Amino acid sequence: MALIIGLTGGIASGKSTVARMLFELGLPVIDADQIAREVVEVGEEAYLQIVEKFGEEILQENKTIDRAKLGAVVFNDEEKRKLLNSIVHPAVRKKMLEQKEQYVKKGEKTIVLDIPLLFESNLTHLVDKVVVVYVDDDIQLERLMARNGFSKEEAEARIKAQMPLKEKAAKADAVINNNGTIEQTKEQLLTILKQWDVL
């Protein structure tokens, strides 16, 4: 039986940073954000539904989805966010599980599912252990504004669309505190993996 690790956290808390470390350690990582991009490529079923429900105004000239525009809509309107989630999430879940099965068939002993909305979407049953990448509120806001060039309001709207990070940390099997340096984060990750006999 493979060990399935769910990697989650808040927006800009450092999930991708930790996912990269896991990948560099040789573990297969399945990235829900990446899959969420693939399932809305031009012509895909989810793409067609998004255009039908949100209108052509959320498209760029080359017909691909304008993610900044769609983000501005859904992170300021809960109903619209739920609508987008209901279109995108089933397709993401299906593809994630297919990829996981392929890794299981290949004989991988540990598989990581990087899922930002693991708790919000009630997907914890898909994993054996949950690691939450945690940062304090002020650092999260700062890093999100810096990385995406968002105003404080834009960044706060995105943070508010998720379960508070402290609540996620309380539900985790292990928490990585990513307030410090990348090196400190790596050390915490290695300790957890050793505890779980992954390394």
Ligand X SMILES: Nc1ncnc2c1ncn2[C@@H]1O[C@H](COP(=O)(O)OP(=O)(O)OP(=O)(O)O)[C@@H](O)[C@H]1O
Ligand Y SMILES: CC(C)(COP(=O)(O)OP(=O)(O)OC[C@H]1O[C@@H](n2cnc3c(N)ncnc32)[C@H](O)[C@@H]1O)[C@@H](O)C(=O)NCCC(=O)NCCS
Q: What residues are designated binding site? A: 12-17
Which of 6, 28, 71, 116 binds ligand X (CB under 6 A)? It is 116
Q: What is the dihedral of CA 15, 178, 12, 111, to 10 degrees?
A: 0
HSE-up of 124 (CA within 13 Å, CB side)? Answer: 11
Cβ pair 33, 114 in contact under 8 A: yes
Is the Cβ of residue 56 or residue 197 nearer to ligand Y in the bound state? 56
Task: Answer with the entry of ligand X, ligand Y, none that 178 interacts with (C-beta below 5 to 8 A by kind).
Answer: ligand X
Which of 5, 6, 7, 13 binds ligand X (CB under 6 A)? It is 13
Is the Cβ of residue 55 or residue 164 nearer to ligand X in the bound state? 164
The verdict on 74 binding ligand Y (CB under 6 A) reads yes
Q: Which stretch binds ligand X (CB under 6 A): 5-13, 34-42, 66-74, 93-101?
A: 5-13
